[in-house]
Amino acid sequence: MPDIMPFDKVYGALCCDPEAVSAMSDGWSDTLSPVSIGPMPRDAAGQLRWYIMRDLSRHHHERHKADFEDAKRFRTQQRIGVVFQKLAKHDPLYNLTKDVMEHYLERLPHSAQRAVQRMFARCPHEALDFYKEVREAAAEVTRIRHKRRSRRAG
């Protein structure tokens, strides 16, 4: 039987890699919110200025909110990419796991495929959990292949 490295050891190797740790922990917890302009002044000119600033702040917030969300999504995808590059380096079952992932995803209905793809844009930890679960199947494939080879050789 082949000696298959447990995922805990692979995860331990990831946790010792500073770049992987940074990618897994680096998050944008920032929220884009309109600038607070404080309480409304009492004088008429100050109130007019206050209303204009409030409306400008709201306008710019709405205008740039989509850009902020796109940047956040792009950064998350970059982080997930780094985690998977590090997995390729530390996990001997990476290529087989990737093949099994592709096999499973191809056979899902299109709506489920889109849901899984969105999962890979949300969080490195969710993508890593998915990888871990599919890796179990890849380990099983390795065990089955080994048994077949053993029968043929014996």
Decide if 6 is inside a domain: no
Q: Assess if residue 2 is contained within a domain.
A: no
Total of domains in the chain = 2
126 with 73, same domain: the answer is no
Position 30 scores a pLDDT of 59
Give 75's contacts (C-beta < 8 A, 6+ positions apart). Answer: 28
Cβ(30)–Cβ(71) under 8 Å?
Answer: no
In a domain, 75, yes or no: yes
Residue range(s) defining the domain that contains residue 147? 91-154
Higher pLDDT, 34 or 79: 79
Task: Please write the tens of the pLDDT for every residue from 68-102.
Answer: 888 888 888 899 999 999 999 999 999 999 999 99
Average pLDDT over residues 94-122: 90
pTM, full prediction = 0.71
Residue that terminates a domain, selected from 90, 117, 135? 90
Same domain, 58 and 108: no
